[in-house]
């Protein structure tokens, strides 16, 4: 066994075996002890012993009989469906969400609340804590807290170093504050685009036998993440994937990151709404008003409103430029565009694909599949859950 070769203690080997088994069940879903033995290379007696501990501990449960080889019947194992939970928080610029997941990955409850522009981080944190306290009071056992935040997030130091449009978070140590408040529970942090990419990999890309997934997170901010054969690429200090701060116009407007013409300045949901509201204040021939919401813009786009189409397709065109740059640099075989912009639907995707096709070599374009995310639950919250589960 590799763990023995590395000189681990017996407890270390047992812990290693349990983690290997839990990872296998995450990958395969409900499966038998024999399936686990085949998938992990652990001998059947070792699997039986480790599974026994995990059953006693309540991490796993037996989920009924299945027909095995030669007509034998065996019992499947899965993560516990109730009694133990992972609590996840997603922070965004204008909202936050909290969800409790059973160990099987089912969100038992989700709450999303708005955050007013410019509200001090301390005040938002108090609101977040109230919501999390309510969850903790209702749930029997929490195995971990997963926190997903926008980037640039320095994963090494667990600090948000820049949040355009919401600078109040840059001086607030959210992860440390959470650790102090919930000191008996392990708190894990992850960059939101990386969390969403994990979900996209697990729920979709893996089934397509993807080698390299480029996930584009487009909504209140613009981010991305690269998953290479199941592993999220993090970079030297965990900053990899800051697509929003790559320039598409070197003599463009200055960005708080120090660069000029950053993609996020032209394409974030906040930038899109600002452009539409400014135009709607002076132009006719649109159903949109100077206080239009993002949901109203989505509806107007789908109904063919002239201004919504012009602005939506302008954003698609800029995003496509960022995606082209990324494809040339990372050579993915699947690109998934997720977060709020996935709701624009197929005309938006077509605008992006047309532009990417026009700016890539034909042989490069033909080797990459570009899609909108089809995941209906919040992939960032789910990814924060997957991240915690993999470390529990």
Task: By CB under 5 A, name the one of 40, 82, 211, 259 that touches Zn ion.
Answer: 259
Q: Closer to Zn ion by CB, 268 or 286: give it.
A: 268
The first and second tokens of residue 23, run together, are 């990872």
Q: Is 74 in the site for Zn ion (CB under 5 A)?
A: no
Q: Contacts with Zn ion in 78-117 (CB under 5 A)? A: none
The two counts, helices (H) then strands (E), for the chain are 14, 15
- Nearest approach, Cβ of residue 262 and Zn ion (Å): 3
Task: By CB under 5 A, name the one of 16, 159, 191, 245 that touches Zn ion.
Answer: 245
Q: Closer to Zn ion by CB, 263 or 317: give it.
A: 263
- Nearest approach, Cβ of residue 29 and Zn ion (Å): 41
Token pair 């000029």 is at which residue?
260
Q: Closer to Zn ion by CB, 223 or 379: give it.
A: 223
Of the candidates 278, 279, 268, the one whose C-alpha atom is nearest the C-alpha of residue 306 is: 279
State whether the Cα torsion 185-188-192-195 is positive or negative.
Answer: negative
Indicate the burial class of 3 (C-beta count within 10 angstroms; 0-12, 13-18, 19 or more): middle
The CA radius of gyration of the chain, in Å to the nearest whole number, is: 23
Q: Is 31 in the site for Zn ion (CB under 5 A)?
A: no
- Backbone φ and ψ of 255, nearest 5°: -115, 155
Q: Closer to Zn ion by CB, 132 or 257: give it.
A: 257
Strand partners, 74: 66
Q: Is 242 in the site for Zn ion (CB under 5 A)?
A: no
- The H or E element that residue 113 is part of is strand 107-114
The first and second tokens of residue 244, run together, are 């929003």
Contact window for Zn ion (CB under 5 A) among 92-100, 151-159, 238-246, 269-277: 238-246
Q: Is 255 in the site for Zn ion (CB under 5 A)?
A: yes
The first and second tokens of residue 294, run together, are 């993002």
- Nearest approach, Cβ of residue 147 and Zn ion (Å): 23
Give yes or no for a contact between 313 and 300, defined as CB atoms under 8 angstroms apart.
Answer: no
Q: Is 262 in the site for Zn ion (CB under 5 A)?
A: yes
- Nearest approach, Cβ of residue 192 and Zn ion (Å): 17
Angle between helices 346-359 and 306-330 (to 10 degrees): 50
- Nearest approach, Cβ of residue 186 and Zn ion (Å): 33
Other beta carbons less than 10 A from residue 382's beta carbon: 26
Q: Closer to Zn ion by CB, 243 or 255: give it.
A: 255
Q: Is 325 in the site for Zn ion (CB under 5 A)?
A: no
- Backbone φ and ψ of 143, nearest 5°: -85, -10
The first and second tokens of residue 194, run together, are 């990386």
Q: Is 271 in the site for Zn ion (CB under 5 A)?
A: no
Give yes or no for a contact between 132 and 224, defined as CB atoms under 8 angstroms apart.
Answer: no
Q: How far lies 174's CA from each of 107, 120, 150, 179, in Å?
A: 23, 13, 12, 9
Contact window for Zn ion (CB under 5 A) among 76-84, 252-260, 319-327, 344-352: 252-260
Contact window for Zn ion (CB under 5 A) among 11-19, 245-253, 272-280, 353-361: 245-253
- Backbone φ and ψ of 295, nearest 5°: -65, -40
- Nearest approach, Cβ of residue 258 and Zn ion (Å): 7
- Nearest approach, Cβ of residue 243 and Zn ion (Å): 10
Q: How many residues bind Zn ion (CB under 5 A)?
A: 5
Of the candidates 216, 203, 245, the one whose C-alpha atom is nearest the C-alpha of residue 370 is: 216
- Nearest approach, Cβ of residue 254 and Zn ion (Å): 9
Contact window for Zn ion (CB under 5 A) among 32-40, 88-96, 244-252, 367-375: 244-252
Contact window for Zn ion (CB under 5 A) among 127-135, 208-216, 241-249, 277-285: 241-249
In the sheet that holds 31-32, the strands lie side by side as 31-32, 73-79, 60-67
Task: By CB under 5 A, name the one of 257, 315, 316, 360 that touches Zn ion.
Answer: 257
Contact window for Zn ion (CB under 5 A) among 152-160, 256-264, 311-319, 322-330: 256-264
Q: Closer to Zn ion by CB, 146 or 151: give it.
A: 151
Q: Is 163 in the site for Zn ion (CB under 5 A)?
A: no
Binding residues vs Zn ion (CB under 5 A): 245, 255, 257, 259, 262
């Amino acid at each position: 066994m590799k763990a023995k070769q590395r000189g681990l203690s017996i407890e270390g080997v047992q812990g290693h075996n349990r983690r290997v088994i839990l990872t296998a069940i995450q990958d395969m879903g409900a499966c038998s002890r024999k399936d686990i033995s085949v998938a992990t290379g652990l001998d059947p007696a070792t699997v039986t012993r480790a599974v026994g501990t995990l059953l006693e501990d309540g991490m796993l449960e037996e989920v009924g009989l299945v027909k095995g080889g030669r007509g034998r019947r065996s019992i499947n194992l899965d993560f516990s469906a109730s009694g133990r939970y992972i609590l996840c928080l997603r922070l965004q610029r204008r909202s936050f969400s909290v969800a409790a997941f059973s160990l099987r990955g089912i969100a038992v409850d989700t709450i999303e609340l708005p955050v007013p522009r410019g509200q001090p981080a301390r005040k938002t944190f108090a609101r977040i804590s109230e919501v999390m306290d309510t969850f903790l009071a209702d749930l029997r056992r929490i195995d971990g807290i997963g926190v997903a935040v926008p980037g640039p997030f320095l994963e090494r130091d667990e600090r948000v170093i820049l949040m355009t449009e919401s600078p109040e978070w840059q001086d607030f140590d959210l992860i440390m504050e959470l650790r102090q408040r919930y000191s008996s529970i392990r708190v894990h942090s992850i960059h939101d685009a990386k969390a969403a990419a994990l979900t996209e990999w697990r729920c979709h890309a893996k089934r397509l036998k993807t080698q390299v997934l480029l996930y584009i997170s487009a909504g209140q901010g613009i981010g991305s993440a690269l998953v290479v054969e199941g592993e999220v690429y993090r970079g030297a200090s965990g900053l990899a994937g800051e697509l929003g701060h790559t320039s598409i116009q070197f003599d463009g407007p200055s960005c708080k990151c120090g660069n000029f013409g950053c993609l996020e300045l032209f394409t974030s949901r906040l930038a899109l709404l600002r452009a539409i509201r400014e135009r709607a204040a002076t132009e006719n021939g649109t159903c949109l008003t100077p206080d239009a919401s993002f949901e109203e813009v989505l509806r107007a786009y789908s109904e063919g409103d002239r201004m919504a189409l012009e602005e939506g397709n302008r954003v698609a065109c800029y995003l496509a430029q960022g995606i082209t740059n990324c494809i040339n640099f990372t050579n993915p075989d699947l690109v998934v565009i997720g977060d709020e912009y996935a709701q624009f639907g197929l005309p938006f995707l077509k605008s992006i694909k047309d532009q990417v096709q026009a700016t890539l070599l034909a042989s490069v374009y033909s080797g990459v599949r570009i899609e909108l995310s089809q995941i209906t639950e919040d992939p960032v919250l789910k990814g924060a859950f997957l991240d915690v589960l993999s470390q529990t």
